Amino acid sequence: MEENSKEEISSGLTDVEKKEAIKKAFKCTDIYIDLNDLNKSYTYPNQQPLNMEDKAVAMVYRGFYKKVKEVLKEESHKQDHMIRYAGRFFRCYEIPTINGGVVAARQMPPEFITLDESGMEDRLIEELMHPRLRAGGLIIICGAPGNGKTTTCAATIDKRIRKFGGLCITVEDPVEIPLQGKRGKGTCLQIQVENQHQFPEAVRGIMRAYPTGTDSIMLIGETRDGETASEALRSSIDGRLVITTMHANSPLEGLQRFANLASKVMDTSEVNNMLSSSFRVAIHQELKMKKLITKILVDEIDVQGAIKDGKFQNMKTQLETQQTKVKQNQKFNYMNRS
């Protein structure tokens, strides 16, 4: 627990009471903090007002409120902030409303969740751990905000470098899940950029940092613009396994959106050719009643051909067929990839 949060919560409470108050206060996915009036703040899901009637819980919220305002003042040049408070991590973004600032604080998982603990189907885990990915390629994890995309990325990286070794370098805004350091046979290094505009430059920079002859993984926290998409594509062609997240409603939509973004910087035919060679896996995920619901699209031969021809809408049938293969535990038809 941070020192200032200790001071805010400690008044007359035992350690057990503190832990219980923290648990009650943060039994939510998100907290929207009104910077003008804490009492107008609320939590999600269900948009509930903060429980300020419970004195212990109210102390937790007041401490968090104080911490948020301190960080915003210290990091006024940044849009996103990672705030640690009472042993929890929150990704915070300030919304400048007409009535003053509101901070959207999303709570990160309190503990590292492995791929096997994530609720991901075994068959999809097999695809994310497939040996053919050691030669590089592109993985897209897509879905709406708050559905565990970053958790899946971090868990995939952890499991792959523990098993295969090598080096993973991440580019994030901000860093959400601690991965830095030695992990099994491999190592992960994390870079935090100040804003989305710094992603492409950071990606270009770290492409020179990988040793030769080793399993190489790159995490790009989120692809939101054409320059980042184009740099991710180039890196995946050069033998690195590039993992990124996107906001999309299906694996096919995520793949097409990635291509559309890259086409803002590169020639469309060049994008389609490179993507047909580098694409490996796209997974859409959604959390429903704490259950992970997923759909997958992989680089089967017909998918590869459709990407090269730019016929993304023609892949709806392939997407449905692949879901059936997953359910029936049938093998995918890859092209010359061991």
Per-residue pLDDT tens digits of the chain, which is 338 residues long: 344 444 456 567 788 988 899 999 999 989 999 999 999 999 998 899 999 999 999 999 999 999 999 999 998 888 788 898 988 889 899 999 998 999 999 888 767 889 999 999 999 999 999 999 999 999 999 999 889 999 999 999 999 999 999 999 999 988 888 899 999 999 999 998 877 788 899 999 998 889 877 799 999 999 999 999 999 999 999 889 999 999 999 999 999 999 999 999 999 999 999 999 999 999 999 998 889 999 999 999 999 999 999 999 889 999 999 999 999 999 999 865 54
Cα–Cα distance between 170 and 157 in angstroms, integer?
10
CA distances from 102 to 61, 147, 148, 267 (A): 15, 22, 23, 41
DSSP at 221: S
DSSP at 131: G
> Which of these, 162, 152, 192, lies nearest to 175 by C-alpha position?
192
Two tokens at 146? 């708050």
Residue 9 confidence (pLDDT): 60
Range(s) of the chain covered by CATH 3.40.50.300: 122-327
Residue 1 confidence (pLDDT): 35
Class at the top of the CATH hierarchy for domain 122-327 = alpha beta
Q: Are 234 and 266 in contact (CB under 8 A)?
A: no
Q: Are 67 and 40 in contact (CB under 8 A)?
A: no
* Residue 181 region by backbone torsions, left for phi larger than 0, else alpha for psi between -120 and 50, else beta: left
Residue 253 confidence (pLDDT): 97
Cα–Cα distance between 180 and 149 in angstroms, integer?
19
Task: Enter the pTM of the model.
Answer: 0.80
Cα–Cα distance between 83 and 90 in angstroms, integer?
5
Cα–Cα distance between 158 and 177 in angstroms, integer?
11
Residue 113: partners with Cβ closer than 8 Å, 6 or more residues away: 151, 155
Q: Could you give the residue ranges of the DSSP H alpha helices within the chain?
A: 3-9, 15-25, 55-74, 122-128, 149-164, 199-206, 226-237, 251-262, 268-278, 301-308, 316-327
DSSP at 248: -
> How far is it between the farthest Cα atoms of the chain?
68
* Residue 148 region by backbone torsions, left for phi larger than 0, else alpha for psi between -120 and 50, else beta: left
- Give the orientation angle of helix 226-237 with respect to helix 268-278, to 10 degrees: 50
> Which of these, 134, 141, 157, 136, lies nearest to 278 by C-alpha position?
136
Length of the chain, in residues: 338
Which residue is listed with tokens 């601690």?
178
Residue 10 confidence (pLDDT): 55
> Which of these, 286, 333, 336, lies nearest to 142 by C-alpha position?
286
Q: Are 280 and 139 in contact (CB under 8 A)?
A: yes
Two tokens at 118? 């994530």
Q: Are 169 and 189 in contact (CB under 8 A)?
A: yes
Two tokens at 114? 């492995």
| Dihedral pair phi/psi, residue 173, rounded to 5° | -145, 90
